[in-house]
Structure 1
Amino acid sequence: MRVLFASTEGSGHFNPLVPFIDACVARGDEVLVVGPPKLEARLAERGQPYRIGGEPPAAETAAIMERFSRVSRKEAAVLIDRELFGRLCTAAMLPALEEACRDWRPDLVLREPCEYASAVAAERIGVPHAQVAISAARIEAGALELAAPALAPYGGEMVDRLRASPYLTRFPASVDPSPYALTRRFREAAAPRTAPLPDWWGGSAEPLVYLTLGTVAGGLPVAAAAYRAALEAVGGLPVRVLLTAGRATDVSALGPVPPNVHVEAWVPQADVLACADAVVCHGGSGTTFGTLAAGLPLVVIPFFADQPTNARLVSEAGAGLMVGPSGGSPDTMPALGPDDVPRIRAAVESVLADPSYRTGARRLADEMRTLPSIDDLLDTLAADFVTGLPPQPQPQPRPRPRPQA
């Protein structure tokens, strides 16, 4: 089988495709990855065949990002989902993806949900396509609704075709009911550890708390205050803390770091989760999913995009607590401040002391382990598409009753 993969530039968008790329390579399938210029270094180091498409005009992208942090949450979502991904990125990537589909003739296109050009190109030559979810299904469906006006020029049925294509997700049904008729869930193999964590805490055996606000937040104006509040919240607690601040963060701007906290730009997530006791994060889908798959409780401090929804899903499932930033207003980008410090501290103490949160997280991890493997899912897609049979909806498991936190 020939499989073409397509992604926008962000690591959080490309990473969900990686297990499928690796599985296809291991099966002996032919693989081609198409991405924008800022993804080229990542694609080159992986070694699979790839092509580079276009990118939106820098001035237009900069104008969107400049407005992003000072407009209402609703307008920010429109800027990203419709104007950036739906309009600019689709137009920039379409020529390369049309050429790849026409010349390379894939049997199947697998894309991340914000990359629309590959689906447009696939539809134009009759190649089947499916999307590999980044976030919860309700988030992906909402983003498509926002992007719909920008996709209308590519055909009146384009959005309907996107809704009808198979939706592949690693999130379990009990916390992620899906509006997509062809939802197929899969089990993602645990990432291997690369090395044990160094002893950055002088032999301390206190519980380990992993603190991260992701790679995007580090470059936003709210970052400095957010990290400062989080550091004050965990400072002095009887815990070890590993803070990964991202390469976009000026660590020197964080101010004094408590003695129980060690700061790194980046550490492989699998290495941290293998020995952590709890995670404090922003609620990005990659961190949230990885933590739940490891059976660890969370304290989620959401800011934007899919983070508030992920935080609510975690809280409702009894796998952690949500601490919404109190700064700002419902119509502006939220911000952490001094008033949030005791709230974060209390939440961290609660998820470490109350075993029900770990029990909730482990229940979800057990549910994830029962899902079909990626190899099994690829076999199903091959049977559906390569043999010419129309894909059939699969019954979705009923969500389990959610325990009270």
Structure 2
Amino acid sequence: MRVLFASTRGAGHFYPLVPLIDACAARGDEVLVVAPPALEPVLAARKQPYRIGGEPPPEAIADVRARAMGLGPDDGVFLMVSEGFGRLGTAAMLPATEEACRDWRPDLVLHETFEFSSVVAAERHGIPHARVAVSAGRFTAVTDPLVGPVLDAYGSGIAGRLMASPYLTRLPASMDPSPYDVTHRYHEEARPGALPDWWGGAKEPLVHLTLGSEAGALPTAAGLYRGLLEAVGALPVRVLLTTGHHLDPADFGPQPPHVRVESWVPQEDVLREASVVVCHGGSGTVYGALAAGVPLVCVPLFADQPENARLVAGTGAGASVTPTGGRGGESVTLSADDVRGIGAAVERILTEPSFRERAGQLAEEVRNTPSADGLLGVLGG
């Protein structure tokens, strides 16, 4: 089987495709990945063939971002989806995905939720397609109507066929009920390694602080990380802060023995030992923690993170602390009350067994879904 994978530029949008890409490769399927230039370093480090598509003009994206910043959080997200991912992203990537569908002739197209050009190309060439969730189903269902006019401009009924296509998600059904008629759930096969003993043999609970792979580029990122460190620094715990590659751990200065700051550590290695994850509620971190049975404290900043935080808190597998500092979105900061609230939430999760028990129940639910390889058997034989 030939499978074409398509992604937008964000690492958080590409990584949900990786288990399926790896499963295809292990089965001996032919794989081709199409993505924007920003992902080329990631794709070049992998073994699968890839093609680089286009990106919208920087001035056009800057204009959309500026307009979004002047709106409320929800309206800003809606604008970025309809204009950034929808109109601009589809037009920029369509020549590459169209060429791949025409010349390479895949048997199946798998695209992450917000990559739409591959849907247009697949529809034009009669190729089955399915979308791989990078967000909770309820968030995606709210944003779907925003791109309907964009897609139908390329061909009548394309938007409807996108909504009717198979929807593939890693989140458990009890936490994230799907609004889509054809939904397939799957799980990743984690293979964690040992975490280095940066704490000299200490055995206190480990609290992992992370804002994912992209938030480190925010203008307020350093302050956000310092706020998280302050929130848990006085607790009787070990702390591991991962900053991502946009910030230098050395910029945070000397830390006490129970605190370690690193740019990056494999998530599965940390989750093997963590007692609590404090994060911004990104879908990748939320899924990884719950799949490992680790409760969370979510501090949502933008995009789908508030919805993920509500789901985590609502299902009893963690808590949510919505920042009150700054304007929100890319300018968010943590107030003193936020810092105290985060620390209190971590303490509560560490002392009340129900959070860990609920996270463990969700992990069991995830384990009972098909593997990525099993899902491919359902989709393509």
TM-score range, shorter chain: over 0.9
Q: 2:305 aligns with which of 300, 304, 307?
A: 307
Task: Write the distance in 2 (CA, Å) between the matches of 1:161 and 1:333.
Answer: 37
Instruction: Name the residue aligned to 2:48.
Output: 48
**Alignment deviations for residues 137-161 of structure 1 (CA, whole Å, 9 cap, x no partner):** 1112222222233333212312111
Task: Write the distance in 2 (CA, Å) between the matches of 1:25 and 1:332.
Answer: 37
Task: Write the distance in 2 (CA, Å) between the matches of 1:100 and 1:159.
Answer: 21
**Alignment deviations for residues 281-314 of structure 1 (CA, whole Å, 9 cap, x no partner):** 1100000000000001111111111111111111
Sequence identity percentage: 60
Q: 1:214 aligns with which of 212, 215, 219?
A: 212
TM-score of the superposed pair, with normalisation by structure 1 = 0.89
Instruction: Name the residue aligned to 1:388.
Output: none
Task: Write the distance in 2 (CA, Å) between the matches of 1:271 and 1:39.
Answer: 24
Matched, 1:61 2:28: no
- The 3-state SS of whatever aligns with 2:359 is helix
Task: Write the distance in 1 (CA, Å) between the matches of 2:252 and 2:222.
Answer: 6
Task: Write the distance in 2 (CA, Å) between the matches of 1:107 and 1:252.
Answer: 48
CA contact (8 A) 2:295 2:356 kept: yes
Q: How does 1:1-400 map to 2 (within 5 A)?
A: 1-190=1-190, 192-193=191-192, 195-251=193-249, 254=252, 257-328=255-326, 334-383=332-381
- The 3-state SS of whatever aligns with 1:200 is coil
Shift of 1:70: 5.0
Task: Write the distance in 2 (CA, Å) between the matches of 1:157 and 1:350.
Answer: 50
- The 3-state SS of whatever aligns with 1:111 is strand
Shift of 1:250: 5.0
Task: Write the distance in 2 (CA, Å) between the matches of 1:365 and 1:84.
Answer: 34
Task: Write the distance in 2 (CA, Å) between the matches of 1:82 and 1:68.
Answer: 11
* Distance change (3 Å), C-alpha of 1:332 and 1:117: closer
Task: Write the distance in 2 (CA, Å) between the matches of 1:11 and 1:369.
Answer: 24
CA contact (8 A) 1:73 1:332 kept: no
Task: Write the distance in 2 (CA, Å) between the matches of 1:329 and 1:117.
Answer: 33
- The unaligned stretches of length 5 or more in structure 1 are 384-405
Shift of 1:379: 1.4
CA contact (8 A) 1:72 1:333 kept: no
Task: Write the distance in 2 (CA, Å) between the matches of 1:278 and 1:255.
Answer: 24
CA contact (8 A) 2:248 2:263 kept: no
CA contact (8 A) 2:220 2:330 kept: no
Q: Which amino acid aligns with 2:264?
A: W
Shift of 1:274: 1.0
- The unaligned stretches of length 5 or more in structure 2 are none
Superposition RMSD on alpha carbons, in Å? 1.9
- The 3-state SS of whatever aligns with 2:219 is coil
Task: Write the distance in 1 (CA, Å) between the matches of 2:337 and 2:227.
Answer: 9
Task: Write the distance in 2 (CA, Å) between the matches of 1:50 and 1:13.
Answer: 16
CA contact (8 A) 1:69 1:220 kept: no
- The 3-state SS of whatever aligns with 1:321 is strand
**Alignment deviations for residues 246-292 of structure 1 (CA, whole Å, 9 cap, x no partner):** 11135455466454321111111011111111111110000000000
* Distance change (3 Å), C-alpha of 1:133 and 1:203: same
* Distance change (3 Å), C-alpha of 1:331 and 1:167: closer
Shift of 1:74: 2.5
Which region of structure 1 is more displaced relative to structure 2, 62-71 or 236-245? 62-71
Which region of structure 1 is more displaced relative to structure 2, 253-262 or 153-162? 253-262
Q: Which amino acid aligns with 2:342?
A: I
Shift of 1:333: 5.8
**Alignment deviations for residues 49-98 of structure 1 (CA, whole Å, 9 cap, x no partner):** 11111111122223334554454212321332111110111111101111
Instruction: Name the residue aligned to 1:390.
Output: none
Shift of 1:329: 6.3
CA contact (8 A) 1:6 1:112 kept: yes
Task: Write the distance in 2 (CA, Å) between the matches of 1:232 and 1:151.
Answer: 46
Shift of 1:205: 1.5
Task: Write the distance in 1 (CA, Å) between the matches of 2:40 and 2:254.
Answer: 37
Task: Write the distance in 2 (CA, Å) between the matches of 1:338 and 1:250.
Answer: 24
* Distance change (3 Å), C-alpha of 1:228 and 1:163: same
Task: Write the distance in 2 (CA, Å) between the matches of 1:99 and 1:113.
Answer: 21
TM-score of the superposed pair, with normalisation by structure 2 = 0.95
CA contact (8 A) 1:239 1:260 kept: yes
